[in-house]
Each structure stands twice: as structure tokens, then as C-alpha cells.
Structure 1
Amino acid sequence: MPLRITTMTESFADQIMLWNYEPPYDFYNSEPDEEFRKELLECSYYAILDEEGQLFGFCCTGSSAQIPIAIPLGAYDEDLLDFGLGMKPESTGQGRGKEFLSFVLSSIAEIHNRTSYRLTVAKFNERAIRLYTQLGFSEVTSFDYGGTTFITMIKMPVSGL
């Protein structure tokens, strides 16, 4: 499945705001909200399209991928490229996550010229954490926000001997 990264558009933002995940992933659902729409369009969000040019997922980088409450806790002190991602609900749980995450990592590496990454994930999302671990991420810290425990995970370049 060849993927492609592109600029976030109003149409893509509107589609993302209507995505509905099944429990327990419904934690990631959002309502059509002008503030979230504005963030999708004005911050560092990218749309990920499938081979037919249809919206498959999205990613974001920088402060858009951080949870502000964790900044004073030191969760984001290290100089790494923060990123977040989301896959269209109908495409989740079908074994496409590894390809999707690998594509996102290679795309943001090219855009930002970085090789060290950090992501923040809800601790209950064991499916995603398994995938991140398979691709070389390791847990660094955790914090609670809004009744949910989050963890930060990092991936550093492999250094030679």
C-alpha cells in the first residue's frame, strides 16, 4: 500500500473530526470543533493518503504532538522531534500499523532532518505501544492527565561501535 504525505486541507480536517473509533479507542474521538479544526489547519499537521488519494491517516510534529500539562513535569525536556499520528478508524486493527508508522517516521525525518523521535501515548493503548516497541521505541516517563495515564516513548538512532 503506497502512502503519500501532503498538506492538511479543510476537507481532510473535516473528515478527521468525524472519525469514530470503537471502545476503548473512542478516547481518541473528537467532535466537530472549530478550535481543533484550526489546529489541524494552522499547526504542523499533515494528511497521509492511500494509493487512491483517499485520507488514510494524519501525523503532526512539534508542540502539536505534546500534552501541555507534561511540559513543566520535564516530559519533553530532551531535544527530540515530537510526533503524533492517527489512522482512519476503518483501517485500524488490520495489520497496517507497522507500514503506516514506518512511513510517518521516514516522512517526518525527511521534512525535519531529524533521526531521534518522541511520542506520547495513552497507557491503555497496548496495541499501539506494542507496535512502537517493535519499531524500536522505549518508554521513558509517564504522567496522568484528565484521568488517563500517558507515557512518552523515544527512539534514538542506532550508533555504531
Structure 2
Amino acid sequence: MDAADAREISGWRYEPPYDFYNGDADPDDLAELLDEERRKDVYFSALDEEGDLVGFFQFEKTSETMDVGLGLRPDLTGRGIGEEFCSAGLGFARERLAPRRFTLSVTTFNERAIRVYERAGFGRGETYMHETNVGGYEFLFMEREA
């Protein structure tokens, strides 16, 4: 991901309750996204056939497990393309980074994302409370084989 894509993503605005995912909702995450060194080899831009930015993936590998973060451009959410987007990113990671399994965490209120992840092969794990910059939220841990 280059600096221009990182800046564009940092300005994305989602409708409530998904505004939890706005780039400026968590200053630490925003600083990581905008820092070239911290972003390098972790954040990847997702482009469509015309080369337009449609989303991003964040891949952090520990041992044989790849933790996945992702975001779809706000105007593209809710259009039924989430499973294809998610699967394309996992395919990229599988090919280039060779993990044995994928994990992710998602807020439990984000039911549409949970459905997408389940259709992409993720299974539900434990729920846990996590304190964020905007308050405590319940998260769902999910995983699947690569």
C-alpha cells in the first residue's frame, strides 16, 4: 500500500453503527496506517479492474497463522460483494505469504461481516470484551484453514 492509498482510506466514513471502523476512530491504528515503515509488508491495497481503490487488507503472520484485517470502501458495503472481496484477499495471502490458517476478530454487532466471513469458510470461536478508544466492545474470534 502506498501513502496515497493510506491517506484515502484514513478518510473513509461509514454510516452508524459501522462508523466504529472509520479511520480516525482509533488514533493508534490510524498512526500505523499512515506510517510507511509500520505499513510496509502488512497493509495491502485492493484495486478493481480499472485500478480504483476498493479496499484494503492487513496481514500479520505469527508462526503459521495469519491474522487478517480488512476494509471495503464504504460505498461498496452492503452490495453483496463481501465474500468475493474477502476470498480474493485470502487467496492473495495464501499465495504470497503461505499461512496454514487464518484468524480474524470482528465486533459482534457487525452481523453482516460475520455472515460474509462464515460464507468465506471461517468458523465462530469465542467472544471476548475488548476496550477500544471509543469504549468496550464484544468481539468474535473466527478462524479457518488456509
Aligned twin of 2:35: 38
The correspondence of residues 28-107 of structure 1 with structure 2, limited to 5 A, is 28-31=21-24, 35-36=31-32, 37-38=34-35, 41-42=39-40, 44-62=42-60, 79-107=64-92
Question: What is the CA-CA distance between 1:114 and the residue it aligns to?
Answer: 2.1
Aligned twin of 1:19: 12
Two-structure CA RMSD over aligned residues (Å): 2.2
Paired residues of 1:10 and 1:41 also in contact (CA < 8 A): no
Question: What is the CA-CA distance between 1:43 and the residue it aligns to?
Answer: 5.4
Question: What is the CA-CA distance between 1:30 and the residue it aligns to?
Answer: 2.1
Separation (CA, whole Å) in 1 of partners of 2:8 and 2:81: 20
Give 5+ residue unaligned stretches, structure 1.
1-7, 64-75
What is the TM-score normalised by the length of structure 1? 0.77
Aligned twin of 2:110: 125
* C-alpha distance after superposition, 1:42-76 (max 9, x if no partner): 4500000011111100001116xxxxxxxxxxxx9
Alignment size in residue pairs: 137
Paired residues of 2:106 and 2:114 also in contact (CA < 8 A): yes
Paired residues of 1:47 and 1:58 also in contact (CA < 8 A): yes
Rg (Cα) greater in structure: 1
